[in-house]
Structure formats: C-alpha cells, structure tokens
Structure 1
C-alpha cells in the first residue's frame, strides 16, 4: 500500500484539508464552544432580610425564593450570614433588603464570571423594588487579582510543557534522575516566573508560603504528568498536552452554572485547571484551598512520578529516548548484518 506522500498531490491536498477541519472541530469544541453556549442555570444567589423586617420585605424575599426561574437559585438568609455564605462561595452575591434601602453584596474571592452575573441580577431585582442599590464588595480584588489565578495556572502548564517537550526532543538517553531533575527545575523556574508576574502586576498580591507552596504543588504535578506522557508517547504526547492548555481559559474561567450541561460534564467536571484556579484564588484572598483541590494535584503528581520511575524493559527503549542504535556501519551506511550478507 502506497504511503500518503506517494499519492497524487490532489489527494494529499484533500487529506490535509480534512486534518485541518478535524483540528478546528476539536479546538472549537474545547474553547469557543464553551463560551458560545454559556447561559445562566441555577446561579446561587441569596436575599437577606432581618428577622423583624416589615411584612412587605419578607414577602419580596419569599417571592424570590419561591420563583421557578431556572436561571437563578435563590435562598433566604439574614444579613449576619452574608459574609459566611460568600466566603464559602455557597452563593455568588447577596441582596440585603431593609426599609427604603437595598444593598448588593459581592466578594472579590468569587470567580469574576459568577460575580458579574450576580451583580446584574441583584441590581435588577433591587431596582424592581423601587430602591437605588448600593454595591458593597467584600475582599475587593484588583484587575490583577482577578486575572492572577487563571494566569498562574496557565503559565505553570506552559513552563512544564515546553521544558518537557524540549527535553524529549534533545535528550538522546535520558535517565530517571535526569527526568526528575528536569521536573524540579521546570517547577522552580515556573513558580519564579509566576511569582515575578504577580509582584509586577500588583504588589498587594500576597506571595506567602502557602501561596508559593500551592504554586509549587500545581507546577510539579503538571510537570510530572507531562513528563510521564512524553515518556510513554514521545513528542506525539503534544497532540494531547497542547490542546489541554486551551481548556484552561475556556473552562476554568467560568463558574459551572454558566457552562452548558454537556460541557460541564465532559470538560469542567475533570479538568485540573479549575481546581488550581479556584484554590489559588482562595489563597490570594486570605482563604485556603479545599481538601479536594490539594488531593487532586497530589494524586496527579504521584501518578506522574510512578510512570517516570518505572524501569525500562530490556530491549524496549522509551519512545522519548531519541534515536535508537540499529547497528549502522559508518563506512557504507548499511546495517552490519546486511553488509556481511552482500559480501
């Protein structure tokens, strides 16, 4: 059977067009499709009224909570629970109602996409009650603070990916110690780059031991998983690792209530980028990551380390090991066995 490059040029052109269309299809599904299908679905919000509030205000709260709108999921609470609900991100915004006054309470520690939707909905409800809403933001975040969690995640992935690909392409006979040294170097330098950007963008961003430690955990997990796939598949792993990077801004930058259910199940539910983004956002605002956000990266690091430490089977070189010695005679460029046979 003739190889593709031996086919007529017209056939090659059509095959190349098919490959390009398939790549565009995959990238469109992973990136623009998430944003194009974004729609509010049960966005968690709260309306807060005092226990002794006038009956009309209580009636407004009960009416909101009893509504059947799919876009918003309401809960009734009291003003003294507002900060707790927002800090745990059980809701993305709270509308506090008082006689002649309405206050929209938001938090800088919440994903900006969720905060934006909460602001729009809560301000509209407040105006419908006849009040001019006052907006209060707890733990306000600067533009850099809103950008840093996702940017830090993406940069750590890129640092490990480029380092791993370059090592795979250049190293002829990589040892396990060399691979691990590369992982540690890529992690340390990647964290340094991210920390440097944080300091450049906003000096108020905390570069504390928990923040740097979490960045290091994410960075080493990324580098180990990338190194493991590159060891198993060689540079062909870039066909998987490259598109995964594109998932970060499209999926991790959204709250799940804004993502189409299909994308939520197929992408958002498993992508590690959302865990690192939300964990880092919590740390930058004085909180701490959830246990699950730490366990995910500990598990990824352990799995990647296991693959990198597995011994090679005799006679089975890694795909990433570069060229394999086939016994080519330097004099006539023919395999030694063939030269002896022709003699």
Structure 2
C-alpha cells in the first residue's frame, strides 16, 4: 500500500514539474515591449510611436540607426516609410518567431497608414527557420544516446573517444539533413556545429561516468525543457521563465549562434559558453576511478569472490 502511494505521488510530481517547465512556457506566452523601429517623416513617426503599447515598443529613428539596430539584433524589424510607399526590413539571423511577429505588426502599421508595402529583405524558408534549433536538439540527443548505450553495454574504456566520435558523426548528420532540406553551411558554421556537439557529448559522458543510467534523470528532462524555451522570443516569455530558464539554456546559444553564422554573422559569447561546457566535461571524465565498468543497474563489482565472502564458507575453509 505504501509503495503504491509513493509511486503514484512521485508520478504526479514529475508530471507537474514537466508541465511547469515545458508546456507552462508556451501557455504563459505574452508580448512585452517587443522592440521595433520606424523610419518616417515626423508627423507619421510621432503618430506611430504614440500608438505604442506595453506589448510592442516602436521607436522612430533615422535610416542609418535603424539598419544598425537591425544588424545588431536590437530590433526585430524596421519599417522605412517614404509616402506613399513603405519598405519592411527584417534580419534573418534574428529569432524567426520574432521576425514573424515584427512582420505582422509593421504590416498592420503600414496598412493603417494607407501605404503600399514592399519587402526589403530576402525571404527565409521554413527549413532555414527550423535548422538551427533542430541541429542543437539532434546534437544533444546524439550524445545522450551514445552515453546511454555506453552504460548499458558496460563500456570500460575509451569513453572520451566514443563521445568525440559521436559528436563528429552527429554533426555530419546535421549538415547532411540541412543540405537535403536546401540549407548549406559555411565552414565556420560547420566548425561551430562541431564545437557544440563536442561540448554536449563530453559533458554528457562525464555525467554518465559518475551517475550511470541515473544521468538520464537530468539529461532527459533538460532535453524536454530546453528546446521549448530556446525557440521562444524572449520578449514573449513570462519574466520568470525568461530569467530562470531562457537566460542560461545552452540550446539558446547554439541556435542563435548557428543562425547568425548562416547569414554571415559572427559569434563571441557562444564560443565561451561551449568551451566552458567542454571543459566541465573533461574535468568530470578525468575525476574519479577510471577502471570500473558502468553498470546499468547501478551495482558496482568490487572484485570479491562470492564464496570467500560468505561467513559459512570461511568457517568451513578454516576447519
């Protein structure tokens, strides 16, 4: 009876936590000061900025400033107005959900002002919007499956080699899938993919070494949680989720970094993030005993002969 109650409560608690950390992110989405910019003559610019709301923040800037803000990813879209026309500018390296929202809002502004709207940025395909986060998730899953199998098959040595090989192979899979979907990567982007894959695989291998199959309790939940957060526009997230989850999840850094490199951008913070993760994985792999095989059931072989370890057998041998 007691076991039945404990297991039932444990299942309910896990369901609550997963719901809170995954579906809760999407259920609480609401815009809050989404940054946009408008380049327009003073009367129209004043009217647009006066219509701003807590959900959307629109500021009037010069043409040069607008393009700088867009290139620096400080705004999700720019509307350049030259009556009777308006040009919509978007940055494909920005979160695609954010650019879609910017397109909707700025299109509404242009239509409300009776302007003829034209697109000033190249169209982005569905594959290009999907690949950065998808590649991040696949790199995580590949390293995680490799670590699980290493534990289940009771691997004794070459754990780092297994992790590094998996990282290279899964990165190759990501490049191949992207090419199949019509997306090509630069050499720098491929190098970034490898760096992300290596950092994921090393960290996971280190956790599996010390926790065994129990590492899945951390890695599996993290996989379910992180992509749901990383794919969201930060200005749409509940402030709690934004601070507690979005601000640090490595899936965000990998997706944003790859998306930037796909469009000839650059990354800096991302290299430090994944370099730190790789270093943490190496430290975990070097720490502790290396000779003991992993056991899926958590039992460690201490090398004691079963017969010699029994009191009865010892007395018979003495006699």
**TM beyond 0.5:** yes
Contact 2:52–2:58 (CA<8 Å) still a contact in 1? Answer: no
The residue aligned with 2:82 is 98
Does the residue aligned with 2:121 lie in a helix, a strand or coil? strand
Determine the C-alpha separation between the residues in 2 that align with 1:285 and 1:103. 21
What's the CA shift for 1:288?
A: 1.8
31-40 vs 57-66, greater mean Cα deviation: 57-66
Give yes or no for the alignment of 1:201 onto 2:181.
Answer: yes
What's the CA shift for 1:84?
A: 3.1
What's the CA shift for 1:252?
A: 1.0
The residue aligned with 2:245 is 267
What's the CA shift for 1:317?
A: 5.3
Deviations 1:218-272 (A, max 9, x none): 0010011111111221111110000111123311111210111010011001100
Does the residue aligned with 1:38 lie in a helix, a strand or coil? coil
Instruction: List gaps (5 residues or longer) in structure 1.
Output: 1-7, 50-56
What's the CA shift for 1:322?
A: 6.1
The residue aligned with 2:61 is 77
The residue aligned with 2:128 is 145
The residue aligned with 1:248 is 226
Deviations 1:6-58 (A, max 9, x none): xx3xx433333212211211111121111111111111100013xxxxxxx31
Q: 1:298 aligns with which of 275, 280, 293?
A: 275
Does the residue aligned with 2:58 lie in a helix, a strand or coil? strand
Give yes or no for the alignment of 1:156 onto 2:139.
Answer: yes
Contact 2:186–2:262 (CA<8 Å) still a contact in 1? Answer: no
C-alpha spacing 1:131/1:137, structure 2 compared with 1 (3 Å): same
Does the residue aligned with 2:76 lie in a helix, a strand or coil? coil
C-alpha spacing 1:294/1:137, structure 2 compared with 1 (3 Å): same
Question: Between Structure 1 and Structure 2, how many residues are aligned?
Answer: 315
The residue aligned with 1:339 is 313
Deviations 1:72-97 (A, max 9, x none): 22222223444432222111011111
C-alpha spacing 1:323/1:98, structure 2 compared with 1 (3 Å): same
The residue aligned with 2:25 is 34
Contact 1:45–1:92 (CA<8 Å) still a contact in 2? Answer: yes
Give the alignment's TM-score, normalised by structure 2. 0.91
Over aligned residue pairs, what C-alpha RMSD do you find? Answer: 2.3
C-alpha spacing 1:85/1:131, structure 2 compared with 1 (3 Å): same
Give yes or no for the alignment of 1:212 onto 2:203.
Answer: no
Determine the C-alpha separation between the residues in 2 that align with 1:232 and 1:338. 35
Does the residue aligned with 2:208 lie in a helix, a strand or coil? helix
Instruction: List gaps (5 residues or longer) in structure 2.
Output: none
The residue aligned with 1:236 is 214
What's the CA shift for 1:337?
A: 4.9
238-247 vs 119-128, greater mean Cα deviation: 119-128
Does the residue aligned with 2:75 lie in a helix, a strand or coil? coil
Does the residue aligned with 2:10 lie in a helix, a strand or coil? helix
The residue aligned with 1:324 is 301
Determine the C-alpha separation between the residues in 2 that align with 1:286 and 1:32. 34
Give yes or no for the alignment of 1:310 onto 2:287.
Answer: yes
